[in-house]
Structure 1
Amino acid sequence: MTAMADVTFYTNPMSRGRIARWMLEEVGCDYEAVLLDFGTTMKGVDYLAINPMGKVPAIRHGDTVVTECAAICAYLADAFPDAGLAPALPDRGAYYRWLFFAAGPVETAVTNNAMGFTLPTEKEQTVGYGSLSHVTDTLEGLFADGRSFVLGDDFSAADVYLGSQIAWSVGFKTMELRPGFADYIARLDARPARQRATEKDNALMPQQGAG
């Protein structure tokens, strides 16, 4: 009898599921990937019972279902502590700060910019991110001291999520490339887990010209 995987992973290679797969590769757990299609199986009854939003990624670990990339990263870091991707609880201030800064201000600012939505200056105080320039300035300041990762020398789940946001945004030119960003992205790209995740997702991408 084949043993069941530790985690069931619902994804599509053209989605934020790439972030969750990278995290799964980092923790090194056994997982089964379930590939879903936009507009069909992602909106089907079976998957809506897992995530009523009909979006990926999501994971099931035993009886626990987790959606939202930042939550998945934080959960997996705690569920598989041997990977060492979350600091001890008393030291988690910066870890939580930057993980959820990425999930809130960064993602919102970058998405709005990509959609061509710019707030009038007098309205910036009404949203959590203020402006894309404020967000980018803050991230530039984070790496101004030459640190290797979000928490300094130690790679963590915060780098999986925040690093993915920065790399994606810079790559698609929805965020300006600031000092420190290129070196940070290069360090992330050099991680074997990120390389494995990228290879697996790229292999699932639809081929050009395919019917």
Structure 2
Amino acid sequence: MTKSLRLHYAPDNASLIVRLALEELSVAYDTALVDRRAAAHTSDAYRAINPAGKIPPLETPNGPIFETAAILLWLCDTYKGLAPAPDAPDRAAFLSWLFYLSNTMHATLRMTFYPGQYITDAHHDASKTGSRAALNTSLALVEDLAGQGHPWINAATPSALDLYICAMLRWMALYPKGDTDWFTLTDWPNLAAMAAKQDARASTAALCAAEGMDQNPFSMPRPPTPPEGSAL
């Protein structure tokens, strides 16, 4: 039977955040591999689903949704979990941090992975230096937030914020390959605790099986060996 949700994904891409959310919410879904080596995300067929040509989009009964934060917010509100309720007093703070992760931290991280999409080759080193300084600022902010005792971040069960942050912690430790010495997870003890908690979740076990990741993919990340597709 065809499920009502379809996640277009590539291994170890932003789609893993949405996969974790779907698993945490116990929502049935199908997946469709986006072949990055064949640049499938630039095809006309793919852009009909996500005009921006990025990963992931999620096809829903209401049409496709793209942008990771938008997908997470739709899932949180549709399936009632991973976020404060729309009328909860702490909803405003949750939304502020969700979009900070998306618009600032993740966007800056992308610049370190794909500098050629943003700046000429001659300025790559300067861009990397600036981006990593900005990422350290972001890490300090979310480290402090994760230690404040809110029920919507770094609590007993994860929120959408935890899922988003854990993915970025993984990527900072792994990519670009051979150029990650600037980041050490143990420098950020609240975030390290968050990563360890997420490693133990059933959603993470499902992610590892689907995308070829080893155990402890957030606290002790290693490059994946996916059964299909490529993280590149």
TM-score normalised according to structure 1 size = 0.78
User: How far apart are the structure 1 equivalents of 2:155 and 2:39?
Assistant: 43
Consecutive unaligned residues in structure 2, runs of 5 or more: 116-123, 213-225
**Alignment of structure 1 residues 62-141 onto 2, 5 Å:** 62-81=61-80, 84-89=81-86, 90=88, 91-114=90-113, 115=115, 117-118=125-126, 131-141=134-144
Q: CA deviation at 1:196?
A: 0.6
Query: Does the 8 A contact of 1:107 with 1:165 survive in 2?
Result: yes
User: How far apart are the structure 1 equivalents of 2:32 and 2:229?
Assistant: 16
The one-character-per-residue Cα deviations of 1:63-110 (angstroms, maximum 9, x if unpaired) are: 3211111211111111112xx222122231221122111112211333
Match of 2:23 among 19, 22, 25: 25
**SS of residue matched to 2:52:** coil
Match of 2:190 among 157, 167, 180: 180
The one-character-per-residue Cα deviations of 1:131-166 (angstroms, maximum 9, x if unpaired) are: 233212212212344778616445211211122222
User: How far apart are the structure 2 equivalents of 1:175 and 1:120?
Assistant: 13
Q: Residue 15 of structure 1 corresponds to which residue in structure 2?
A: 13
Q: Residue 215 of structure 2 corresponds to which residue in structure 1?
A: none
User: How far apart are the structure 2 equivalents of 1:109 and 1:92?
Assistant: 25
Q: CA deviation at 1:54?
A: 2.2
Q: Which moved more, 1:86-95 or 1:166-175?
A: 166-175
Write the letter of the residue equivalent to 1:156: S
Query: Aligned-pair RMSD on alpha carbons?
Result: 3.0
The one-character-per-residue Cα deviations of 1:115-141 (angstroms, maximum 9, x if unpaired) are: 5554699xx8xx9x9823321221221
The one-character-per-residue Cα deviations of 1:25-80 (angstroms, maximum 9, x if unpaired) are: 11111111111212443333322211122222111111321111121111111111
Q: Are residues 117 and 205 of structure 1, via their aligned partners in 2, closer, same or farther at CA, if it must alter by over 3 Å?
A: farther
Match of 1:156 among 138, 159, 171: 159
**SS of residue matched to 1:180:** helix
Query: Does the 8 A contact of 1:95 with 1:151 survive in 2?
Result: no
Q: Residue 54 of structure 2 corresponds to which residue in structure 1?
A: 55
How many residue pairs align between the two structures?
A: 198
Match of 2:170 among 167, 176, 196: 167
Query: Does the 8 A contact of 2:59 with 2:65 survive in 1?
Result: yes
Consecutive unaligned residues in structure 1, runs of 5 or more: none
User: How far apart are the structure 1 equivalents of 2:126 and 2:142?
Assistant: 19
